[in-house]
Structure 1
Amino acid sequence: MERTSLNKPNHPPAGVLGIGLEAFLPPGAYAPEPRRARISLPVDRSRVAVNDAAQAGALANMFDSLRHRQDWTGPWYKRGITALKYVARSLCLAAQHERFLALIAADPVMRAYRRRDPRLLERHMHRYVNAHWHRRDRLTYLQQHYRFAKAHLPAGLYELVYATGHASLGSVTAKDGSLLTLCLRPPIYKGCEGELCLQLCDANEEPLYSIVFTVADEQPALMIGCLQGPSGENARDVVRELTRNLHGMRPKQLMLSLVYTFAQQYGIQRLVAISNDAHPLRRSGRPLFSDYDAFWEEQRGERIGGGWYALPGSLTHKSEAEVPSNHRAAFRRREALRREAEGLLADALAQPLPAFRKTDQEASRIAFPVYGRL
């Protein structure tokens, strides 16, 4: 017996129950033909292809971020748990995290930096810069800093700092004839206080003093997250000797002057510094040896909420006339050393393109938040 098919050309397609739509219409009524799928234009097909490629790229970047994670330590099951936590936290900010991974994947310098410090990929998932920040704030400022660094740091300096991990800016001669070297480095391994570290080192480039900061580029601001001297039993003796070699200038005062030089080089008029209670290590149980609040207040900083101190737009330095005559020779040597150190940093940052140049009126409209957003 010959088998027939309901889907022959002279038969309409069967309905859900094997009955055509015409069975439910009154006599003489017309059942329109089913609407055919629109044939996609080349533009539509290319858009779909781009979206598919973007999704494939996002997945590739995500899988790549799971590789070479030497920062995940312990037995295999602990590393597996850490990896699952990373994936879960990534999904909480999926689109923003994908953009950050894409930023890293597109830049050979950032790829080299990521291999050297894979914690970069999840810095925003842990305590970071300001304890009051939400993870979205942390990732926003992390992206902004590297967008600024790539766009404004000289290419050679950018590569030395983040791909190589060290840039020597030059040396000044201390009172005893020894050399003191300025260095720019990325944050320490698993660092949480900022993304650019400026250090005063000895002749062997061993750090003596460090100041760590992050640059926000949308509302230009420089955020200081750490100002740290030597540690250990003889830390006070080291600071005392270093102060003497700086002709009586406190090392942390020199470091703050250098940060102001950095900000002025790029026209950044707003500087903020972390307070004691908002420091990311304050609640980790690890001791902090510096009283940040006291030092920022000494520099005429004003507490503005959200864990920040707003620092003045410029530092004030004494004039020679304000110094007693018997101390003026030391004052001149101290000022000459400070200006020489600032010159080394300015020369390293020199570039033809101006950065954030805002008028005073525009700068006055930049408001700092009470709860962490800049």
Structure 2
Amino acid sequence: MNSKPPRVALKPKDRAKIFFGSLLHPKQSRRWLEFVEQSDILHDKLVQFPFAHSKIYRPYLSTRLDCAQRVDILITHYRFLSAFGLSDWVRQASQQPVQLCELSCKSGAVAALELSALHEGHREGELCLRLIYKGEYIFAASLVIFEQDGKPCLMVGRLQGKATEQARELVREATRDLYSTRPAGLLILAARHFAYLLGCQPVLLVSNRNRISINLWRRWHITSNYDQTWTEMEATPRPDGNFELPNLAAPFIDIEALPSKKRSEARKKLALLEAMFSGMADSVKAARRS
């Protein structure tokens, strides 16, 4: 089998990465390129996403992974999605985001959950859940599927919003409009339900220590605190330094435990989350039938 990559227009620095990477990791280079050639999702995607050539040589998902582990995770991810019947859906999401569901906000504004693949947040995952509010992208979570103890699990390798002041104001506005649901929390709930729909358990969450940040300047200026976020979500710390949460079949709010004056708002919030979960389930079912 020909394991050479297809001819693509590569920048000199990318060509250098591939050249030296293939010298340092010849076995893993062959494994990855042979898999790409056979994959019904990836076989022609290196032309569109040339960085996928070299991603196995660079830090990916967690600082704890070596080249062989990166290849294992990437192959497992795409094999799983193909076996699950989502190849066409993922290929579509690599061209433009596919909408998972729409959400009716308190003000009457519309929010939406979208899924894109391959090109966004490519150091932290292969899929990207994005929250759109009033037509603007305000928050994103990068995801990848791999095996743990022989069973599929889903990992969140990135959770972040846009850095502009306008986007931060939209996040504050969206939080109020989504019945006091923070966009970051909403995306993690969506990721947990996505894991449930795919039969993945648990949901892993990258820690501050293990997160990917190649650029030293960017690392010095990171303000988001993943460990604090996961702890506030009652995630369980793991021996590898990451965190985990169970997948989620349905949202739950203990309405009766709340003061009576807050119950009406809580019921509306629960209805919003139930609509999100239902819309996601319908989208995944439709994608598998297509």
* TM-score w.r.t. length of structure 2: 0.88
How far the C-alpha of 1:187 sits from its partner, in A, is: 4.5
1:99 to 31, 46, 68: 31
Tell me: CA distance 1:189–1:248, structure 2 relative to 1, closer, same or farther (3 Å).
closer
2:241 to 307, 310, 323: 307
1:268 to 169, 188, 200: 200
Residues 348-363 of structure 1 aligned to structure 2 (within 5 Å): 348-350=283-285
How far the C-alpha of 1:105 sits from its partner, in A, is: 2.0
The residue aligned with 2:97 is: 166
- Between 1 and 2, higher relative CO (CA 8 Å, sep ≥ 6) is seen in 2
Q: Greater share of strand residues, 1 or 2?
A: 2
1:333 to 248, 268, 287: 268
Give the gaps of 5 or more residues in structure 1: 1-53, 73-78, 354-374
Write the letter of the residue equivalent to 2:141.
I
Residues 192-207 of structure 1 aligned to structure 2 (within 5 Å): 192-204=123-135, 206-207=136-137
How far the C-alpha of 1:318 sits from its partner, in A, is: 2.5
1:208 to 114, 119, 138: 138
1:127 to 39, 43, 59: 59
Q: What is the CA deviation profile of residues 262-291 of structure 1, one whole-angstrom value per residue up to 9, with x for unaligned ones?
A: 111122122211101211117633032321
Write the letter of the residue equivalent to 1:259.
A
How far the C-alpha of 1:130 sits from its partner, in A, is: 0.5
Contact 1:213 1:225 in 2 (8 A): yes
Q: State yes or no: 1:184 paired with 2:111.
A: no
Tell me: CA distance 1:300–1:101, structure 2 relative to 1, closer, same or farther (3 Å).
same
The residue aligned with 1:237 is: 169
Q: State yes or no: 1:294 paired with 2:235.
A: no
How far the C-alpha of 1:155 sits from its partner, in A, is: 4.1
Write the letter of the residue equivalent to 2:223.
F
The residue aligned with 1:15 is: none
Please tell me whether Structure 1 or Structure 2 has the larger radius of gyration of its CA atoms: 1
Secondary structure of 1:111 counterpart: coil
Aligned-residue CA RMSD (Å): 2.4
Tell me: CA distance 1:293–1:158, structure 2 relative to 1, closer, same or farther (3 Å).
same
Contact 1:180 1:200 in 2 (8 A): yes
Residues 20-99 of structure 1 aligned to structure 2 (within 5 Å): 54=1, 57-58=2-3, 61-62=4-5, 64=6, 67-69=8-10, 72=11, 79=12, 82-99=14-31
Secondary structure of 1:102 counterpart: helix
* TM-score w.r.t. length of structure 1: 0.69
Tell me: CA distance 1:311–1:160, structure 2 relative to 1, closer, same or farther (3 Å).
same
Tell me: CA distance 1:317–1:282, structure 2 relative to 1, closer, same or farther (3 Å).
farther
How far the C-alpha of 1:111 sits from its partner, in A, is: 3.5
2:257 to 311, 315, 322: 322
CA distance in 1, matches of 2:88, 2:183: 28
Give the gaps of 5 or more residues in structure 2: none
Secondary structure of 2:200 counterpart: coil
Tell me: CA distance 1:330–1:317, structure 2 relative to 1, closer, same or farther (3 Å).
same
